[in-house]
Amino acid sequence: MDLLTLIVWVVIIFNVVAIVMILLGDADIILQIKEKFGKSVKCLAGQVVWITGASSGIGEELAYELARAGCRLVLSARRTNELERVKKECMLRGSIKEEDILVLKLDSIDFTSHKTAVDKVFKHFKHIDILVNNAGRSQRAMWLKTSLQVDRDMLELNVLGVLSLSKLVLPYMEKRGSGHIVNISSVAGKLGAPMSGSYTGAKHAVQGWFDALRVEIGDKNIHVTNVCPGPVFSNILAVAFTEKEGEEFKGEMNPNEKRMKTDRCAYLIGVAIANKMWEVWITKNPVLFLCYANQYTPNLSKWISGKLGLKAIQKLREGQH
């Protein structure tokens, strides 16, 4: 066999393996490889991790995952009764001491309160290793009917809240010479998600903002991970924004829908954090395939989306295909 034939075979085999991994996997190829051969979540033992939006859904399950790994935790959200419940469960599942978990009430859009919150964390733990910006709300609304106030509210919560906290925590990380910011973005931060115009815009914004930061702080031992989950079981539909200011969607998830289980999503986020990955996609198919199509053949993926139409894409998104 000559060299050219060998190269052609290597390329063919590489592509076949990649396509099989995409079709059978529930995360991007690199994350699948890291899950099998990379660092385990346990390597985060002892680290101080601040999780916003820890009172339900992905944030709650991530707290359990990191408690099992032996992390020290700051749990934030608005509902402190729910945070206390999560704290108790963390102590049971992770057998960590009470003083290793700080429940800290935080409203992401009350920017003036963030400095006090950061001070409380530093008073308790002396430093922060990892900040997980997870708090957020989704949306179900038609683009044209969405009021400008909803666009504004979405940006305040899903973008400015993230920036406000990160800007307060980062200088400490810089001074210490280490740190890690993790943003729970969404597949909607990569693709246009119908009936979620403001949400799509907000998640794209977070990705852009932090991709720029990653380059600026690349030499400072501070890491940035953007996590893009697809449909995952959580409380997100109940409290999603609609087109009207102040309204909640009050949607329910059916257990038969093809969404990812919350604990699986949290585990994969743990793997991404442990391996300090830059960007990860965590989703079942066909959404994972669409992510790859969008990344490598953007025009083809937009053509496919157009042909499928709003109803079909929305079904994929709600795991009802």
CB 188 within 8 A of CB 199: yes
Active site residue 292: no
Tell me how crowded residue 59 is: count the other CB atoms within 10 A of its CB.
Answer: 27
CB 181 within 8 A of CB 131: yes
Does the footprint of ligand NAP cover residue 232 (CB under 6 A)? yes
Considering only 32, 134, 294, 305, the residue that binds ligand NAP (CB under 6 A) is 134
Considering only 128, 165, 236, 272, the residue that binds ligand NAP (CB under 6 A) is 236
What phi-psi label fits residue 57: left (phi over 0), alpha (psi between -120 and 50 degrees) or beta? left
Kindly tell me which of 105 and 176 has the beta carbon lying closer to ligand NAP.
Answer: 105
**Quick check: helix, strand or coil at residue 137?**
coil
Q: Look-up: residue for tokens 């994969």?
A: 268
Least distance from C-beta 2 to ligand NAP, angstroms?
A: 48
Distance of alpha carbon 214 from alpha carbon 225, whole angstroms: 9
Distance of alpha carbon 198 from alpha carbon 136, whole angstroms: 12
Does the footprint of ligand NAP cover residue 82 (CB under 6 A)? yes
Task: List, in sequence order, the alpha helices (H) in the chain.
Answer: 3-24, 29-37, 57-68, 80-94, 114-125, 148-155, 161-176, 197-216, 262-274, 287-296, 298-317
| Amino acid in position 229 | P
Q: CB under 6 A: which stretch of 37-45, 100-108, 297-305, 306-314 binds ligand NAP?
A: 100-108
Least distance from C-beta 5 to ligand NAP, angstroms?
A: 44
Tell me how crowded residue 163 is: count the other CB atoms within 10 A of its CB.
Answer: 16
Least distance from C-beta 118 to ligand NAP, angstroms?
A: 14
Site for ligand NAP in 275-304 (CB under 6 A): none
Kindly tell me which of 94 and 136 has the beta carbon lying closer to ligand NAP.
Answer: 136
Least distance from C-beta 160 to ligand NAP, angstroms?
A: 11
Does the footprint of ligand NAP cover residue 181 (CB under 6 A)? no
CB 134 within 8 A of CB 228: no
Does the footprint of ligand NAP cover residue 107 (CB under 6 A)? yes
Kindly tell me which of 43 and 109 has the beta carbon lying closer to ligand NAP.
Answer: 109
Does the footprint of ligand NAP cover residue 197 (CB under 6 A)? no
Number of residues that bind ligand NAP (CB under 6 A): 31
Binding mask 33-72 for ligand NAP (x = CB under 6 A): -------------------xxxxxxxx-------------
Distance of alpha carbon 296 from alpha carbon 238, whole angstroms: 34
Q: Which of 64, 172, 199, 267 is catalytic?
A: 199
Distance of alpha carbon 127 from alpha carbon 218, whole angstroms: 20
Considering only 43, 109, 160, 213, the residue that binds ligand NAP (CB under 6 A) is 109
Q: Which residues of this chain interact with ligand NAP, rule CB under 6 A?
A: 52-59, 77-79, 82, 106-109, 134-138, 157, 184, 186, 229, 231-232, 234-236, 239
Active site (catalytic) residues: 199
